[in-house]
Amino acid sequence: MPAEAADSGASSRQQIADLRREIARHDAAYHGAAAAEIGDWDYDQLKRQLTTLEGQFPDAANGSPALAKIGDDRSGIFPTRRHRERMMSLEKVYTAADLRAFHARLAKRLGSDDLAYVVEPKFDGLAVSVTYENGRLVRALTRGNGIEGDDVTAHVRLIPGVPSELRTTSPPSVIEVRGELFVPFAEFARVNTEREAAGEARFANPRNLAAGTLRQLDPQEVVRRGLRLVFFGVGACVPTTVLPETQGDLPVQFTAWGLPAIVVRQVWPARGADELVRAVEACRVARTEFDFPTDGAVVKLQSLEGQREVGAGESAPRWAVAFKFPPDRTETQVRAITLQVGRSGVLTPVAELVPVVLSGSTISRATLHNRDEIARRDVRIGDTVVIEKAGEIIPAIVGVNLARRPPTAQPFEFPTQCPECHTAVAERKGEVAVRCVNAACPAQLRRRLEHFASKGALEIAGLGPTTIEALVAQGRVKDLPDLFRLRREDVMSAGKTSAKSAEQVLAAIEASRHAELWRWVYGLGIPQVGTVAARDLARRFRTLEGLMTAKVSAAANEREKAGDPALRAVVIYFADAKNRALVAKLIAAGVRPVGPPEPSATAVAGKTFVLTGSLPTLTRAQATGKIEAAGGKVGTTVSRHTHFVVAGADAGAKLEQARTLGLTIIDEAALRRMLLEE
């Protein structure tokens, strides 16, 4: 063999091995930790490169690390169950020529060139399969490895719009409906804003949020984080006579059954290759209008009969392909890297960019997340970077164009001091964040005040960032309680020049003393406590004083402490003497938030409950906590003295006993009503 050929074989072997290793690493990040490092597009390109190389050097692939054929999203924390019919993936295509080749393949198999298709958006979330038996929802599974998936039934039951029963008197005896779990953009933005306000890390994109939510053991998270489900396919179905003849009619049937389905304006029919190419382009253009994330279009053969006829290959059906859209990208230069000091002191590096238009909006900043991220991407001041908008409102820096790196490009030195108060920064074990640990840091104070006055919190009109900045700079507000000592002159010298607008701000601050308790619980800015958790805590503790004592009662109940991150965060917050002093000062300043309405005395207080079976959303510890907080008691055995038996799924002997004794049996919804939660 000529030396040259041997060399190229050796280097290809190396290249193939490297590619495989890199892909395996991304697979682990994508499926395991639910935090992907690179975008789908780049990932797909790596895979394509590998396939091409392997095609050219079939021998070179030997000895390289093995690659999984299909992904695996099983988390290991949920029980798994088998799908009745395998869940496959789709072959990906990228160009008009690929689409034409797909059509040509089908035309050959079916012996006709006149084929009808539908083009649908490819929802960017997580695949799920929901089984209805005799019309009742019995199970929901993730794709898993295609054969078996995580049992996420409790989570899926809580998704708005997913019916527990099909709306029909003659349901199939069994049907697996297949669809995608996703988070709409508006919900994604809301969750991230709340997380940022609570000092938590943002989710990189809606899919990570959906995946992360599904991994939460508490199914209620599904509601808090706005998950949705759309159905677009069928797995096993007995009898198949309930199904329509075409793919395009499937959403019609789904809608009739009450299942959330793709709507008409999200479907493009096409006949033949030319129309198909145009339909995919139409879908691509329309996608900017969708309020849900998409990463491509799915092309499907209309005829379900035809679909059955062509069948499937090893891991994908032959009757459909996924056309992947390239992400919206552009290049621009990093002018500077600045630091933002967050409410809890976290320093977030931000790339200040030469303004550039991307997907219709002008971009001049992009977050660099943290110190490690800058190092990993090796972003330097003066670099030309590639930015991408992929479902994110804030664009991400996806890479550096090294070919355009000027010799003057400056690596960013992460400071050892807070840029605002110059206190030495610190890192907590196990966290990537670098923090300013000075609780009196003016930047942190400003952020805390901004959060306090913000919409979800105390909503103090007129107390915006500019006024806050002036009040802090003039030393008039050194901490939250100082707000309640402000005089008209203070507010006027902070920029509210008319006496009237100054009075309005003061009146709004005044009114906040008696705002609803949950607003205060949220407004304090305790990490992990978003608005939903704040409402929950307000119901349980009823007063600020009660919340401060959460420490004792929570510590007394280990089970609860472990199961409720918000409660744990409150306990940690009030373990800090500074925070206790702060709230005491607020109370001394006349802050008296209004608690939620008392649970009706007749309903829960003084009554004895027994819990049996598994409730749809509450754990036993949570239900016990709620009943006890409302003055009720929870017993373990059913007797004539039991007032209410709360029964969930698979309730056994206790339920039988309750029936025999003629006790009142209620479900979780009724319990919530008694607790005045609904």
Taking CB under 6 A as the binding criterion, the range among 85-93, 496-504, 641-649, 652-660 that sits at the site for ligand IVH is 85-93
Least Cβ distance, residue 121 to ligand IVH (angstroms): 6
Query: Is 262 or 346 the residue whose CB approaches ligand IVH more closely?
Result: 262
Question: Parallel, antiparallel, or unpaired: how do β-strands 126-133 and 136-142 relate?
Answer: antiparallel
Least Cβ distance, residue 599 to ligand IVH (angstroms): 43
Query: Is 43 or 123 the residue whose CB approaches ligand IVH more closely?
Result: 123
Of 137, 135, 140, 138, which Cα lies nearest the Cα of 172?
135
* Secondary structure (DSSP) of 263-296: -GGG-EEEEHHHHHHHHHHHHHHHGGG-SS-EEE
Site for ligand IVH in 219-258 (CB under 6 A): 232-233
Query: Is 320 or 547 the residue whose CB approaches ligand IVH more closely?
Result: 320
For ligand IVH, the binding residue among 39, 306, 317, 599 (CB under 6 A) is 317
H/E run at residue 307: helix 304-310
Query: Is 322 or 457 the residue whose CB approaches ligand IVH more closely?
Result: 322
Residues 252 and 240: their CA atoms lie apart, in Å, by 16
For ligand IVH, the binding residue among 13, 103, 122, 389 (CB under 6 A) is 122
Residue 371 in contact with ligand IVH, rule: CB under 6 A:
no
Residues 271 and 467: their CA atoms lie apart, in Å, by 61
What are the counts of helices (DSSP H) followed by strands (DSSP E) for the chain? 25, 24
Least Cβ distance, residue 216 to ligand IVH (angstroms): 20
Site for ligand IVH in 256-315 (CB under 6 A): 298
Retrieve residue 658's tokens.
């309750």
H/E run at residue 42: helix 40-56
Least Cβ distance, residue 192 to ligand IVH (angstroms): 23
Query: Is 65 or 313 the residue whose CB approaches ligand IVH more closely?
Result: 313
- Does 122 participate in catalysis according to the annotation? yes
185 close to 206: Cβ distance less than 8 angstroms: yes
Residue in the structure block whose two tokens are 């290959």: 313
* Secondary structure (DSSP) of 231-255: EEEEEEEESGGGS-SBGGGHHHHHH
Those residues with Cβ within 8 angstroms of residue 541's Cβ, 6 or more apart along the chain or in another chain: 547, 549, 550, 629
Taking CB under 6 A as the binding criterion, the range among 84-92, 392-400, 504-512, 600-608 that sits at the site for ligand IVH is 84-92
Site for ligand IVH in 89-118 (CB under 6 A): 89-90
For ligand IVH, the binding residue among 120, 388, 450, 564 (CB under 6 A) is 120
121 close to 179: Cβ distance less than 8 angstroms: no
The residue nearest ligand IVH at its CB is 127
Least Cβ distance, residue 298 to ligand IVH (angstroms): 4
Those residues with Cβ within 8 angstroms of residue 653's Cβ, 6 or more apart along the chain or in another chain: none
Query: Is 89 or 193 the residue whose CB approaches ligand IVH more closely?
Result: 89
Residue 321 in contact with ligand IVH, rule: CB under 6 A:
no
Secondary structure (3-state) at 654: helix
Residue in the structure block whose two tokens are 């060399």: 7
Of 13, 276, 254, 14, which Cα lies nearest the Cα of 120?
276
Tell me the number of residues near ligand IVH by CB under 6 A: 14
Taking CB under 6 A as the binding criterion, the range among 316-324, 465-473, 490-498, 603-611 that sits at the site for ligand IVH is 316-324
* Secondary structure (DSSP) of 466-520: HHHHHHHHTTS-SSGGGGGG--HHHHHHTT--SHHHHHHHHHHHHHHTTSBHHHH
Least Cβ distance, residue 140 to ligand IVH (angstroms): 13
Query: Is 187 or 482 the residue whose CB approaches ligand IVH more closely?
Result: 187
Least Cβ distance, residue 50 to ligand IVH (angstroms): 18
Least Cβ distance, residue 317 to ligand IVH (angstroms): 5
Beta strands (DSSP E) in 124-197 are: 126-133, 136-142, 148-150, 174-182
Query: Is 8 or 89 the residue whose CB approaches ligand IVH more closely?
Result: 89
Retrieve residue 429's tokens.
């074990």
Query: Is 293 or 345 the residue whose CB approaches ligand IVH more closely?
Result: 293
Could you give the string, one character per residue 9-38, with x where binding to ligand IVH holds by CB under 6 A and - elsewhere?
Answer: ------------------------------
Taking CB under 6 A as the binding criterion, the range among 26-34, 122-130, 241-249, 458-466 that sits at the site for ligand IVH is 122-130
Residues 463 and 502: their CA atoms lie apart, in Å, by 10
Query: Is 324 or 496 the residue whose CB approaches ligand IVH more closely?
Result: 324
Site for ligand IVH in 124-143 (CB under 6 A): 127
Residue 369, burial from CB neighbour count under 10 angstroms (0-12, 13-18, 19+): buried
Least Cβ distance, residue 246 to ligand IVH (angstroms): 14
Retrieve residue 475's tokens.
């030393």
Secondary structure (3-state) at 116: strand
Least Cβ distance, residue 175 to ligand IVH (angstroms): 15
For ligand IVH, the binding residue among 322, 390, 396, 480 (CB under 6 A) is 322
Retrieve residue 409's tokens.
């490009």
Taking CB under 6 A as the binding criterion, the range among 119-127, 382-390, 394-402, 603-611 that sits at the site for ligand IVH is 119-127
Give the up-direction half-sphere exposure of residue 577: CA atoms within 13 A in the CB hemisphere: 0
Residues 323 and 333: their CA atoms lie apart, in Å, by 31
Query: Is 317 or 342 the residue whose CB approaches ligand IVH more closely?
Result: 317
Q: What angle do CA 577, 580, 583 make, to 5 degrees?
A: 150
Secondary structure (3-state) at 177: strand
Could you give the string, one character per residue 455-494, with x where binding to ligand IVH holds by CB under 6 A and - elsewhere?
Answer: ----------------------------------------
503 close to 560: Cβ distance less than 8 angstroms: no
Residue 88 in contact with ligand IVH, rule: CB under 6 A:
yes
Give the up-direction half-sphere exposure of residue 465: CA atoms within 13 A in the CB hemisphere: 3
379 close to 333: Cβ distance less than 8 angstroms: no
Taking CB under 6 A as the binding criterion, the range among 121-129, 149-157, 239-247, 409-417 that sits at the site for ligand IVH is 121-129
Least Cβ distance, residue 12 to ligand IVH (angstroms): 29
Query: Is 89 or 330 the residue whose CB approaches ligand IVH more closely?
Result: 89
Site for ligand IVH in 147-186 (CB under 6 A): 180
Least Cβ distance, residue 120 to ligand IVH (angstroms): 4
Selected catalytic residue, list 122, 300, 324, 607: 122
Q: Which residues bind ligand IVH (CB under 6 A)?
A: 88-90, 120, 122-123, 127, 180, 232-233, 298, 317, 320, 322
Active site residues: 122
